[in-house]
Amino acid sequence: MLRDEALDALIPYLTSQVGAAIREKKDASEMQSIAQVFGALHLAQGNLPNAEEFLHRFTTTLGPVIYPSLDLATSPTRHLVLVHECQHVVQFYKDPLVFPPKYLADKEYRAGKEAQAILAQLEVSHWLTGKIPTVRTDLPRGIAYGYALNPEDILFAQRILEVGMTMTSNGVYATEVGKIATKWLNQNAHELYHGCAY
């Protein structure tokens, strides 16, 4: 099986396991409203995406619903982005009343949840490639932009990721989604283990 064939099959399995639904961003009126809010915030606060970027480049998850960015379908990392979002759905179901407001209001909480979702992505890419990113300081770049975090929150996320990546490099997958995904890959696409490029 080719990598993308396996990952195309993995994603529906993952979403069913974690109870996620995928909805197109362009069809969702709630996403257009959020995009307008991002546009307004972008004017006030430079380190957030503007409305266009939000719709095209940012995949968003609200509760159990994942809204892929408009550019995601053609992105080479689309599967890993959806793995990341599935981990957010797990976070939501663990604490459905607390997670959404706290994620928005509390930067340290948000940084921790993002680190965990990034770790889920890294676990799946480690299973596929046998590698973890070599430049660890590059990792927080993704969370430095778009989440309005303070430097200390970014450092906090980086620490979580460093611990997680040490486990990952030893083949220990800690996140719920990383465990479900790698178990499925072991059972259904074992020939790809550590043999893929990304």
Binding interface with Zn ion (CB under 5 A): 114, 117
Which of 18, 12, 104, 28 minimizes the C-alpha distance to 70?
Answer: 28
Which of 58, 169, 161, 170 minimizes the C-alpha distance to 119?
Answer: 161
Buried b vs exposed e over 134-153: b needs ≥16 C-beta within 10 Å? eeeeebbeebbebbebeeeb
Which of 132, 93, 129 minimizes the C-alpha distance to 113?
Answer: 93
CB of 60 to Zn ion, least distance (A): 9
First-last CA distance in the chain: 16
Considering beta carbons, is residue 70 or 192 the nearer one to Zn ion?
70
Considering beta carbons, is residue 87 or 182 the nearer one to Zn ion?
87
What single DSSP character describes residue 76? T
Considering beta carbons, is residue 114 or 123 the nearer one to Zn ion?
114
CB of 73 to Zn ion, least distance (A): 19
Residue nearest to Zn ion (CB): 117
Cα–Cα dist 66/15, whole Å: 9
CB of 149 to Zn ion, least distance (A): 12
Considering beta carbons, is residue 114 or 176 the nearer one to Zn ion?
114
CB of 144 to Zn ion, least distance (A): 13
Reported as half-sphere exposure (CB side, CA atoms, 13 A), residue 175 has a value of: 34
Considering beta carbons, is residue 6 or 175 the nearer one to Zn ion?
175
CB of 172 to Zn ion, least distance (A): 22
